[in-house]
Amino acid sequence: MRAVEGHAIDLAVEPFGWLLLVIFIVGYYFIAAEEKYHINKAKPALFTGTLLFMLLGGYYAYNGLNMAVFENEIAHLILEIAEIFFFLFVAMTYIEALIERNVFNALKEKLISRGYGYRQLFWVTGVMAFFISPVADNLTTALILSTVLITIDKTNKAFLVPAAINIVVAANAGGAWSPFGDITTLMAWTANKGTFIDFIFLFPSAIIGWVITAFLLSRFVPEDHPVKEVEGSAEDNKILKGGRVIIFMGVMTIALAVISKQIMHLPPMWGMLFGLSVLKLYAYTLKRHHDVDIQIYSSVSKIENDTLLFFFGILAAVGALHFAGFLGHAVKLYDMFSPTAVNIGVG
């Protein structure tokens, strides 16, 4: 058995390929059943993704196959993962910096001071998620607004659960009608799979899908009002020095990520990392001239590393299935049906 020169062999028709698929399915099962087994989903994801490629590397080496093909696939995959990894790393760092500058406490106070009840907060945060995610991205939007929810009420699960689901649905729906609202839409746009206007045409279906889901979820939200906690200091409920500048810098960093990709043909993470460097320089300036310590390095240490490792593992696992030939067969299966039927089936 030999690989075609310059191309990976199709392992989807080989027993070894079936073994890879079984490992993927078992790993995915433990990811989906993390609550049942009390295991963080990053653990099975990382284990599955790294194991699959180690098995693939061993298989190619043992059978004397073209290792250059395998090395090229690994290099390509690492670049793809690094783009997402560093994008999320910077986004999470900004979120932690905003938390440190009391931005979310101030936003919480603003919402509660207006007398909003739980249901009104449910709809307000949903609308914010729907319209922020097309400008930023759905993951960052969901992280930010979910943080706001937790600062409003940490204990009321009857409010938190449906409101958090609503934010995720709204952020994903909002990101779907923007080329840079989601990693997937950005990839489709840069690959010339659709124009900017093509994505805008998705707005009606996106907002209808979210509103219907939100309406159903809202029926489970309590009608009373959150208890306004008075902690004795007005300082606790206002944005600290530098917070508003960091908000602006965060928006500009997202914009730079898009500009660096579309105009300068750099990976989006390049613009994000540049934005991170500006944030660090700004923190240095505040410390030197105003004796204000934002503690960016402390913010970096608070990042949810398991989230980043989960993305690494799951992308590596899917990349292994692609290299083994399974995704190629899936594409052929899609070609047997109409685009509408495929979209409905995948959804």
* Tens digits of residue pLDDT in 199-215: 888 999 999 999 999 99
Total domains present in the chain = 2
Structure tokens at 32: 């989906």
Q: Which pLDDT band, with edges at 50, 70 and 90, does 1 fall under?
A: very low
Residue 177 structure tokens: 């009608």
User: Whole-angstrom Cα distance, residue 314 to residue 81?
Assistant: 10
How far is 323 from 12, CA to CA, in rounded Å? 10
Return the pLDDT at 19.
96
Tell me how far apart the alpha carbons of residues 332 and 347 are, in angstroms, rounded to a whole number.
18
- pLDDT mean over 130-145: 82
pLDDT at res. 2: 46
- Can you give the pLDDT at residue 323? 94
Sign of CA dihedral 194, 200, 201, 203: positive
| Residue that is last in its domain, among 238, 271, 287 | 238
Of the ranges 173-177, 184-188, 253-257, 308-312, the best mean pLDDT one: 173-177
Amino acid identity of 138?
A: N
Is residue 58 one of the residues assigned to a domain? yes
Q: 119 and 74 in one domain?
A: no
Radius of gyration of the chain (CA): 23
Residue 249 lies in a domain: no
Higher pLDDT, 191 or 294: 294
Range of the domain at 173: 102-238
Torsion of CA 268, 274, 280, 285, to 10 degrees: -140
Residue 294: CA count within 13 A, CB half-sphere: 33
Q: What is the pLDDT of residue 30?
A: 94
Neighbours of 163 (CB within 10 A): 30
Q: Which of 12-16, 294-298, 309-313, 324-328 has the lowest mean pLDDT?
A: 294-298
**Average pLDDT, integer, range 59-86:** 88
pLDDT at 231: 52
Report yes or no on 141 lying in a domain: yes
301 is a domain residue = no
- pTM confidence score: 0.76
Q: State residue 23's pLDDT score.
A: 97
For residue 135, the model assigns a pLDDT of 74
Q: What is the pLDDT of residues 14-31, one digit of tens each?
A: 999 999 999 999 999 999
Q: Dihedral of CA 76/175/93/165: which sign? A: negative
* Nearest Cα residue to 249 out of 90, 14, 61, 27: 90
Mean per-residue pLDDT for 232-257? 81
CA–CA gap between residue 317 and residue 136 (Å, rounded): 27
| Residue range 212-223, pLDDT digits in tens | 999 999 999 888
> Which residue, 40, 90, 38, 347, is CA-closest to 209?
347
Of 182, 208, 238, at which residue does a domain stop? Answer: 238
31 plus 145 within the same structural domain:
no
CA 106 to chain CA centroid, nearest Å: 25
| Of the residues 238, 259, 288, the one at which a domain ends | 238
Q: What is the pLDDT of residue 17?
A: 94
Say how far residue 181 (Cα) sits from the centre of its chain. Answer: 10
Report residue 17 as tokens.
């390929």
- Two tokens at 216? 């159903």
Predicted confidence (pLDDT) per residue in 270-290, tens digit:
998 999 999 999 998 988 888
Backbone angles phi, psi at 114, to 5 degrees: -80, 0
Give the model's pLDDT for residue 287: 86
- Averaged pLDDT for residues 314-336: 87
Are 226 and 130 contained in the same domain? yes
Structure tokens given for 86: 């560093």
Average pLDDT over residues 42-52: 96
Tell me: do 39 and 130 sit in the same domain.
no
Pick from 167, 172, 171, 175: nearest CA to 217: 167
Note the Cα 199 to chain centre separation in Å. 19
Q: Which residues of 119-138 are buried (b: 16+ CB within 10 A; e: fewer)?
A: bebbbbbbebbbebbbbbbb
**Domain presence at residue 161:** yes
